[in-house]
């Protein structure tokens, strides 16, 4: 089946530093990847849609200059949390769409990255 990986699985960083999270589709190519954020005991909230070779589309209320998304290849998208603060501590999850899929299909989710900012 389709597998999506994320790296790192967890990270602790100091306030003011930047953190990069990678999302990879391991056995398929993904023209579109999605980044979600999940705070404790809450549901997933879509942050942005990442399309290979073009700028990401951010959801309302998500700061594009703070959450930098790069989708340089069909198998890799990265999310960089710049100048992280404790309120950015969260569970970040990516998902990907198989480029061969057409019509109705499901998204495949990564295992998530837990970010803790101290």
Binding of other proteins by 21 (CB under 8 A) = no
HSE of 9, CA atoms in CB hemisphere, 13 A: 3
Binding of other proteins by 27 (CB under 8 A) = no
Measured from the CB atom, is 14 or 40 closer to other proteins?
Answer: 40
Binding of other proteins by 106 (CB under 8 A) = yes
Which residues in 51-90 contact other proteins (CB under 8 A)? none
Strand 90-98 and strand 113-117: the pairing is antiparallel
Kindly indicate which of the ranges 11-19, 36-44, 68-76, 81-89 contains the residues binding other proteins, using the contact rule CB under 8 A: 36-44
Residue 4 near residue 94 (C-beta atoms within 8 A): yes
Binding of other proteins by 105 (CB under 8 A) = yes
Strand 76-81 and strand 19-25: the pairing is antiparallel
Residue 47 near residue 37 (C-beta atoms within 8 A): yes
Residue in the block written with tokens 């930098």:
68
Q: Which residues bind other proteins (CB under 8 A)?
A: 4, 6, 32, 34, 36, 43-46, 49, 91, 93, 95, 97, 101, 103-112, 114
């Amino acid at each position: 089946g389709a597998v999506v990986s994320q790296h790192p699985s967890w990270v602790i960083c100091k306030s003011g530093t930047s953190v990069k999270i990678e999302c990879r589709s391991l056995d398929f190519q993904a023209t579109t990847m999605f980044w979600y954020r999940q705070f404790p005991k809450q549901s997933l909230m879509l942050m942005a849609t990442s399309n290979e070779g073009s700028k990401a589309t951010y959801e309302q209320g998500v700061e594009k200059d703070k959450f930098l998304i790069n989708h340089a290849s069909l198998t890799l998208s990265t999310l960089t949390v710049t100048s992280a603060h404790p309120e950015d501590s969260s569970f970040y999850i990516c998902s990907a769409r198989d480029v061969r899929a057409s019509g109705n299909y499901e998204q495949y989710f990564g295992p998530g990255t837990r970010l803790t900012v101290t």
